[in-house]
Structure 1
């Protein structure tokens, strides 16, 4: 199948790529066999096993199975393979989240791992969540998970936490965003951003080429564009609005084969980076290069760099907002537990100590910061971009299902609220949270790192 046919399939929301992931046990005595795998699937309360079949042996695996699984009123067909672990070079994969050295060492010593392969349905994140649940059901005590589509290793602790949750993880786990750059003699740095993992979700991969300004803003912009494509992918050359920076942030995409005609021949991400003698270069697969659309012209998205650095609003689907809110509330008890332990406490100091206190000591003092995002009603829902504006607050106190916080950014569509205001709101308005420690950052997806499970 050539790329033209693949683009046509993706335009219809179809894909020829299954999602392939693996899981490695932590117990060296763990044995994969037909009865163990079938029993694990059949006894799960998260999904229903409709059929299970042992397939003929092949060169790829020592055991092969197929399963029909029903989940949230949709039926999925999965292939399962028990394979030798020495066929995997873990050094070829990045880290999707924090993994300790002990888990990596245990994984490399295991003789076998389980590989799972399935096609996603209409909702990629739901299907991805199911795949995690299936792997966790078969190997509940894992050392490591591998996502072969995004080229990332995933923490077994994260996998266990996520598989047991009724709420899917962040869509960030569906793909990875690679950033490659060249430094030129004149000091200019040129970036090539591109994703891996979106093909299994029924959309093209996304890219930005020849970026020299606002790399951080472009990184965020392409990530937010991916979120839109996962629920409602734009067609080629179709203009879409991804956010608001005082005016609409308008983008479109063009397949790389056409887009490269307007770039320098030796641009990073050009034809030379998409060719291989074996013909298996993953960067030659269907991919869309993003452009800004201004006055009907397709130009570099760099034109948004300066305004995107000034508190823009990105449009997020209602489904994603609800998912984030559900997960934030589900794990808010852990946020509260850490807040009560680590949040700065007011100190009573003597007058003399206040005078003689070391200014250097205050400057070197490191503290934890606890932020919550709350969805607040806008003044004129019919005129604004949505009925809610989601704003970040620095948490000051938590009590009686109420959060007191200091607003960190200026609202666009709420006139009686200003940056710096201290307000108290019910936890029902919570849509996200984040914790900054002196040496790390913890979100709803990474809170497991604090050992609170």
Structure 2
């Protein structure tokens, strides 16, 4: 049975959201919602529309298994629409999430951001809405990773390498999405994902454009070419095109494939796009110099400081596993004009500062060396992470934390086995 508008009244009142019934245009009901700080939204209880397709739920990396099962049990849908613009897209999307969380109350099973094709569990929304920092660009899109089929005779638990990583969500807000072919596992599961965030920020700020021959994601060879997907399908080698398994019409518009920058005269003459080799290698170690724009760095810093108390709580909660706990801290360069943002191992996280040991090799700060340990004021903090075997817990992603909590006993046993194997290897 679809919920009645009156059933949402207690949650709306508690959040100081006003609700006015409006013409439903053939649906069960519709209401205009207003909040003094979030703005306005329209809620519609749609008729004859069930849960999203199960394959979309299974593909989403932001849900744990329990959350996926709940999402598949949904029987009716309430849609929420917030009008936004390109200038404040991160702030507008956060307002949408606030309205979604109010309407979920205690009965909603899952929220889906249709524009980004991203799902939000109740716990995921609570983590995001616990602070007032704008959304990160990561929340504007989702990544789908397509692999080849596992052979029937393969041992249980066998994984096949990723063939095709692609995004959804950027084209829906007036930009374009991008593909990475044969991505390294560091991009799909660990710190290399930041390379995709740099790419997304470049697209949002108009610095990365479709057809661009060279866009620098990181120092040390991290340059990519943005080849329009139609051109890629015409010019690339058949084996490279074939990696885009099942690429239907919706995956062949408003999209680029990240490729090798063009070579010399002959490379430009024959113009056969080749997938980026840099993204097929390990990306994301501590010495990688990613070219985040200043606006993105400021946003990351705001989020990192706003979630610092959570970081301290979660680090303590997971202390039994001795996961690496790291923080990114910015210092002025010797040549001036900017900061280097370096990764440190956290020794002691305090209210107003952090005692930490430098892991990175600075590029332009002669006075700092790997292994230096000191206290750093919190105003220099720009990011943090807890590194787990199933992904990094960051100010932008708490899914690994929820997965560990969901299977804490099994996880403890698995970690004991891993530690025992590591000990055996060190002894031999």
TM-score of the alignment, normalized to the shorter chain, above 0.5: yes
The residue that corresponds to 2:307 in the other structure is: 331
Instruction: Say if 2:104 and 2:110, in contact at 8 Å, map to a contact too.
Output: no
The residue that corresponds to 1:354 in the other structure is: none
Instruction: Say if 2:164 and 2:180, in contact at 8 Å, map to a contact too.
Output: yes
Cα deviation digits, residues 298-323 of structure 1 (max 9, x gap): 75353435695763211112222222
Report the Cα distance in structure 2 between the residues aligned to 1:440 and 1:56, rounded to whole angstroms: 43
Cα deviation digits, residues 188-221 of structure 1 (max 9, x gap): 9783332111122321111234x4x856469744
The residue that corresponds to 1:54 in the other structure is: 22
**Residue 116 of structure 1: SS of its match in structure 2?**
strand
1:374 matched to 2:329? The reply is yes
Report the Cα distance in structure 2 between the residues aligned to 1:304 and 1:206, rounded to whole angstroms: 15
Give unmatched runs, 5+ long, in structure 1.
1-27, 276-280, 345-365
**Residue 132 of structure 2: SS of its match in structure 1?**
coil
Cα deviation digits, residues 309-344 of structure 1 (max 9, x gap): 763211112222222222222221222234456658
**Residue 293 of structure 1: SS of its match in structure 2?**
coil
1:197 matched to 2:146? The reply is no
Q: 1:290 aligns with which of 254, 258, 272?
A: 258
Instruction: Say if 2:184 and 2:282, in contact at 8 Å, map to a contact too.
Output: no
CA RMSD in angstroms comes to 4.0
From the superposition, tell whether residues 268 and 222 of structure 1 become closer, same or farther in structure 2 (CA, over 3 Å). Answer: farther
The residue that corresponds to 2:78 in the other structure is: 114
Report the Cα distance in structure 2 between the residues aligned to 1:125 and 1:227, rounded to whole angstroms: 11
The residue that corresponds to 1:404 in the other structure is: 355
Instruction: Say if 2:28 and 2:45, in contact at 8 Å, map to a contact too.
Output: yes
Instruction: Say if 2:240 and 2:274, in contact at 8 Å, map to a contact too.
Output: no
Q: How much does 1:111 deviate?
A: 4.4
The residue that corresponds to 1:207 in the other structure is: 179
The residue that corresponds to 1:226 in the other structure is: 200
Alignment of 1:39-438 (within 5 A): 44=15, 52=20, 54-58=22-26, 61-65=27-31, 78=42, 80-83=44-47, 86-93=50-57, 94-99=59-64, 101=66, 111-122=75-86, 123-141=88-106, 142-182=108-148, 191-209=163-181, 211=182, 214=184, 216=186, 220=193, 221-232=195-206, 234-239=208-213, 241-246=215-220, 249-265=222-238, 267-268=240-241, 273-275=246-248, 281-294=249-262, 297=268, 300=274, 302-304=276-278, 311-340=287-316, 343=319, 366-382=321-337, 387-399=338-350, 401-436=352-387
From the superposition, tell whether residues 136 and 309 of structure 1 become closer, same or farther in structure 2 (CA, over 3 Å). Answer: closer
Instruction: Say if 1:174 and 1:198, in contact at 8 Å, map to a contact too.
Output: yes
From the superposition, tell whether residues 107 and 83 of structure 1 become closer, same or farther in structure 2 (CA, over 3 Å). Answer: farther
**Residue 129 of structure 2: SS of its match in structure 1?**
helix
From the superposition, tell whether residues 178 and 109 of structure 1 become closer, same or farther in structure 2 (CA, over 3 Å). Answer: closer
Report the Cα distance in structure 2 between the residues aligned to 1:55 and 1:307, rounded to whole angstroms: 54
From the superposition, tell whether residues 189 and 434 of structure 1 become closer, same or farther in structure 2 (CA, over 3 Å). Answer: closer
Q: How much does 1:230 deviate?
A: 2.6
Report the Cα distance in structure 1 between the residues aligned to 2:161 and 2:307, rounded to whole angstroms: 41
Report the Cα distance in structure 2 between the residues aligned to 1:322 and 1:32, rounded to whole angstroms: 43
Q: How much does 1:109 deviate?
A: 5.1
Give the strand-richer structure, 1 or 2: 1
Q: How many residues align?
A: 379
Report the Cα distance in structure 2 between the residues aligned to 1:189 and 1:338, rounded to whole angstroms: 31
The residue that corresponds to 1:356 in the other structure is: none
Report the Cα distance in structure 2 between the residues aligned to 1:190 and 1:262, rounded to whole angstroms: 22
Q: How much does 1:115 deviate?
A: 1.6
Give unmatched runs, 5+ long, in structure 2.
152-159, 406-428
Report the Cα distance in structure 2 between the residues aligned to 1:235 and 1:439, rounded to whole angstroms: 33
Report the Cα distance in structure 2 between the residues aligned to 1:403 and 1:226, rounded to whole angstroms: 30
Cα deviation digits, residues 128-185 of structure 1 (max 9, x gap): 21111111223332332223344443211111332342113432222122233459x9
Instruction: Say if 1:78 and 1:118, in contact at 8 Å, map to a contact too.
Output: yes
Q: How much does 1:405 deviate?
A: 1.0
Q: How much does 1:246 deviate?
A: 3.8
From the superposition, tell whether residues 181 and 109 of structure 1 become closer, same or farther in structure 2 (CA, over 3 Å). Answer: closer
Instruction: Say if 1:38 and 1:52, in contact at 8 Å, map to a contact too.
Output: no
Farther off after superposition, 412-421 or 189-198: 189-198
Q: How much does 1:76 deviate?
A: 6.4
Report the Cα distance in structure 2 between the residues aligned to 1:190 and 1:397, rounded to whole angstroms: 37
Report the Cα distance in structure 1 between the residues aligned to 2:74 and 2:232, rounded to whole angstroms: 45
TM-score after normalising by structure 2: 0.73
TM-score after normalising by structure 1: 0.69
Report the Cα distance in structure 1 between the residues aligned to 2:102 and 2:243, rounded to whole angstroms: 43
